[in-house]
Amino acid sequence: MVNVQKLENENYGTYYLIENKNNVRLAVSPQGARALDWIIPVDGEDRDLLVGFKTIAEHKKARYYAATIGPVAGRITGASYNIDGTEYQTQDNDGGNTLHGGFEGYDTKDWAAEVFEEGDKAGVIFTLEHPDGENGFPGNVVSKVKYSLDDDNNYQIEYTATTDKPTLYNPTNHGYYNLTGSPVNSINEHTLKVGAKQVAETNPDVTTTGNKVDVAGTKFDFVEGRKISDTYLDDPFILDHEQTPDLVLTSPDEKVRLEIETTAPAVVIYTTGASEAGMQMKYGEMADHGGIAIEPQGIPGTEKYSQFGDIILRPENPFHSKTTYHVEF
Ligand code: G6D
């Protein structure tokens, strides 16, 4: 039976603790509709798979850690886009481009929270109303992000959204993971397997070029699964969806296996580097390469490149996507 409690403490403020029968605990916050902790018992010890900060204040400052990113994750090149012949300008917060929804992206918002129980799972539904035109995104958009656990150790995030005008919509969860339980250890000895034969090519500013590139023989080839080693990533992997799960991350001690399955067309994988090394995290100082962010989403740049799909949300076609993070331990 999955249990949900609304709690309050000085570090997290108001948050929700979701616990299943196997002592898996997921803590989530209305601030940024973000996950704070994802703790599993390994050999009788607690192991927190999420890389994050001790306090919600630090999360708000750093912004993205396991937060809901939106309305558009990734970069909008030139901070502008066109829908049905109308040009829209968004905020330039990243060298001429818009990153992760701009200065006031969904991760910066306080979401409404509602506890739910549905069959064998339970959790929290976060809701946000985004007013028409705010930060260059048209439409009164209502987003709902449903965080849940079940007793089979599935952690699920489900997104739905509606709009009264055509707009761009491509959310993600920007969770950073380290399956050793602490980002004091690098992720180099983790094994990563990604069901993606192609990545979206990127420019030096990390915007996409519109080209899809085969991973065979490149640093992006994780099709068969291999150690991450000193491979630094900040790239969209285009999922084949030919195998389930879409992605597997295994801890160095092989005691924890994270399986991710998503309806999203891609996952952006970002590994932390020198710019994050030394940051004071929940369990100590972040090592260089201390965390791997896995962000299921539409391919960044889809608003410009139709070959990537379509991220226009229209009134007649509500948005839905679901990602399941299953952990074996
Ligand atoms: C950098 O380019 C990367 C992004 O992909 C990432 O989400 C962010 O850092 C945290 O801007």
| Residue 206 Cβ contacting ligand 1 at under 6 Å | yes
Neighbours of 284 (CB within 10 A): 12
d(CA 220, CA 134): 36
Determine whether 262 is exposed, middle or buried from the number of CB atoms within 10 Å of its CB (0-12, 13-18, 19+).
Answer: buried
pLDDT of residue 80: 98
Is beta strand 172-173 parallel, antiparallel or unpaired with respect to 198-202? unpaired
pLDDT of residue 116: 98
Atom of ligand 1 nearest to the CA of 99: 11
Are the C-beta atoms of residues 146 and 26 closer than 8 Å to each other? no
d(CA 77, CA 202): 11
d(CA 102, CA 106): 9
Measured in Å, residue 270 CA sits from the centre of ligand 1 at: 7
Atom of ligand 1 nearest to the CA of 64: 10
pLDDT of residue 112: 99
Measured in Å, residue 274 CA sits from the centre of ligand 1 at: 13
pLDDT of residue 98: 98
Measured in Å, residue 226 CA sits from the centre of ligand 1 at: 23
Measured in Å, residue 312 CA sits from the centre of ligand 1 at: 23
Domains located in the chain, CATH noted:
3-328 (2.70.98.10)
pLDDT of residue 90: 98
Long-range contacts of 77-81 (CB under 8 A, 24+ apart): 77/207, 77/208, 77/301, 77/304, 79/136, 81/168, 81/303, 81/304
Q: Which helix (H) or strand (E) holds 59?
A: helix 56-62
Measured in Å, residue 3 CA sits from the centre of ligand 1 at: 34
Atom of ligand 1 nearest to the CA of 234: 5
Span 19-31, pLDDT tens digits: 999 999 999 999 9
pLDDT of residue 15: 99
Q: Which helix (H) or strand (E) holds 179?
A: none
Ligand 1, atom 11, lies closest to the CA of 99
pLDDT of residue 191: 99
Measured in Å, residue 233 CA sits from the centre of ligand 1 at: 10
d(CA 220, CA 235): 9
| Residue 308 Cβ contacting ligand 1 at under 6 Å | no
| Residue 176 Cβ contacting ligand 1 at under 6 Å | no
Does the global pTM surpass 0.85?
yes
d(CA 127, CA 135): 19
| Residue 64 Cβ contacting ligand 1 at under 6 Å | yes
SS (H, E, C) 200-233: EEECCCCCEEEEEEECCCCCCCCCCCEECCCCCC
Ligand 1, atom 10, lies closest to the CA of 64
Which residues of the chain are under the pLDDT cut of 50?
A: none
pLDDT of residue 164: 98
| Residue 270 Cβ contacting ligand 1 at under 6 Å | yes
61 backbone dihedrals φ, ψ, rounded to 5°: -70, -45
Span 119-145, pLDDT tens digits: 999 999 999 999 999 999 999 999 999
